[in-house]
Amino acid sequence: MDPALQTLAEALAPASTEEFLQNTLGKTYKYFPGEPGKFAALFTWPDLNHILASHQLDAPRLRLAKDGKTLSTESFIGHQESRRRASAPMTRLRSAELTKHLQDGATLILDAVDEIHEPVTTLAANLERVLRARVQVNLYAGWRTTPGFDVHWDGHDVLILQVSGRKHWKVYPMTREYPLPDDPKTKDAPREPLWEGMLGDGDLLYIPRGWWHVAIPVDEPTLHLTVGLHHATGLDFAAWFVDRLRESAAVRQDLPRVGSTRDRAAHLQRIREAWEEAWHPRLLEEYCAYLDSRAYARPHFGLPWTAELEVLPPGGGWDIKWLVPRPIDFRGGDAIVVRGNGKETMFAAAAWPALKALEETGTCSIDDLYKRTAGILEPERLRVFVKELVNAGLASIVDARRTDSLEIAANTSMYSNQ
C-alpha cells in the first residue's frame, strides 16, 4: 500500500489546488473523481476494528444513526465502575449488539478520528496550515441501504473522502445563504438536487456550508471520512472587534435608559466615535493574525528526550517535527513572526534557514538542519535554538533510533560516574 496522502494538493489531484481555492472554496460544490485506493492508507477497516476495540469511546463521539435518528447508546455501550473513581465509570463497547445494529442498517459515526489516528492527524494538520481554519475529521461506515441522516445542511464546509466502497450522494442548493451552525432549520430542502452521483473508492466531494445533501449506502460496506472545515465568519470578526472597544470609557458607560432623547442621542454619538476611532484599514489583517496566534498545535510527544533537562537526544540521526499550525510570517527585514499556541514568537532573520526547512519539510533531520544552517549558525547554537523551539511547543523530537540512543546515554552516564 502506498503511503497515506498528507496534503490538500494530493487529495485534490489531478485537479488544481489554486483553482479550488479561488473558484470553489466557499462558493459551490464540486465532485473530484479519483483513482481506486487513493485514500486507502488514510484509514482501513482493520484500523476501525482496532480503534473500536482499544479506545474508551462514548457518546456523542461514537454514535449510531438510522433514518435520521440517533440510536440509544445504552443498546451497544456498557459502563463499568472504575476502582479509583466510582463517579467516572469506564465504557466498554458491546461488540455483538453494536454489530447487530449495523446489520440492521445503522450507520456508524466516529467523531474526531484526526485525534486518534496518525495518518488522518497529519492530513488534518496540513489542511489547517494551508486553509488557516480549524479542521475536524469524522468517520462514517455503513452497510445496508438506509441513510444515517435525512437531507440536511451543515454549518461548516466539508470534504468527503470516499475511502472504501461506494455511496450515492445528492446535493441541493442553499435555502439560506451562509447559515450559521445554530441557525434554525425551518425551511424544507429543495425538491430537486443540483447534482447526484455515486462516490466510489478514491473520489472526493466538496460541499460548502448551507448546501443541503444526503448520503445513501448501496447495500455494501462503505467507509468515508468527512473533513469539516470550520472557517471564521464576519460575525466572529465583529465579536472580536466589539471586545476591543472595552478600552473606551464611552462604550463601558451605562446606557441612559431613563435619560432624555437628547441624552440618548449624545451617548449613541460617543459610541459611534469610539467605533470609528478604533476602525482602520488593516483591521482584518490584525484579526487574521489574532486567529493565527490562537491556533494550537496538535499534541506530539518526544519522550523520553523532551522530559530530560537536555531535551535533545545526543549526537545525530534524529528528526525535528514542526508543529506550528499556521504559516510563518516573514516578509524580509530583521524579524520573523511565528504565530500559534496562544502567542506570537519573534525570531531574528538569521533563524530563517532553519525555520524554512522545518516548515517546508514538516519533519527534518538534525543532520540536514546542520547542513542548511552551515555558516549561519554554529552546531551548538543550532541545538540551543532547536531546544528553545521544543520547549515553546513549536517543534518536537522524532527519534527513530530511540533504543540505541537510550543505551548510549545510559552507558555514557555509567562511565562518567566511575
- Structural domain count, the chain: 3
Q: Do residues 217 and 169 both lie within one domain?
A: yes
Angle between helix 283-293 and 234-244 (nearest 10): 100
Residues 356 and 334: their CA atoms lie apart, in Å, by 15
Residues 361 and 36: their CA atoms lie apart, in Å, by 27
Q: Do residues 124 and 13 both lie within one domain?
A: yes
Domain assignment present for residue 390? The answer is: yes
The pLDDT of residue 84 is above 90: no
Report pLDDT digits (tens) over 196-219.
999 999 999 999 999 999 999 999
Tell me which residue range forms the domain holding 66: 8-230
Q: Do residues 85 and 216 both lie within one domain?
A: yes
User: Are the beta carbons of 235 and 64 closer than 8 angstroms?
Assistant: no
Q: Do residues 38 and 137 both lie within one domain?
A: yes
Report pLDDT digits (tens) over 91-116.
899 999 999 999 999 999 999 999 99
Domain assignment present for residue 297? The answer is: no
Q: Do residues 167 and 130 both lie within one domain?
A: yes
Domain assignment present for residue 208? The answer is: yes
Residues 376 and 372: their CA atoms lie apart, in Å, by 9
Q: What does pTM read for this prediction? A: 0.89
Residue 24 DSSP one-character state: I
The pLDDT of residue 404 is above 60: no
Domain assignment present for residue 113? The answer is: yes
The pLDDT of residue 417 is above 70: no
Alpha helical stretches, state H, 220-302: 234-244, 249-252, 261-278, 283-293
Q: Do residues 321 and 388 both lie within one domain?
A: yes
Determine how many CB atoms are found less than 10 A away from the CB of residue 286: 13
Q: Do residues 209 and 243 both lie within one domain?
A: no
Domain assignment present for residue 334? The answer is: yes
User: Are the beta carbons of 255 and 267 closer than 8 angstroms?
Assistant: yes
Question: pLDDT-based confidence at 87, cuts 50/70/90?
Answer: low
> Residue 131 belongs to a domain with what CATH number?
2.60.120.650
The pLDDT of residue 179 is above 50: yes
Helix (H) / strand (E) containing 134: strand 134-142
Give residue 321's pLDDT: 95
Domain assignment present for residue 288? The answer is: no
Domain assignment present for residue 293? The answer is: no
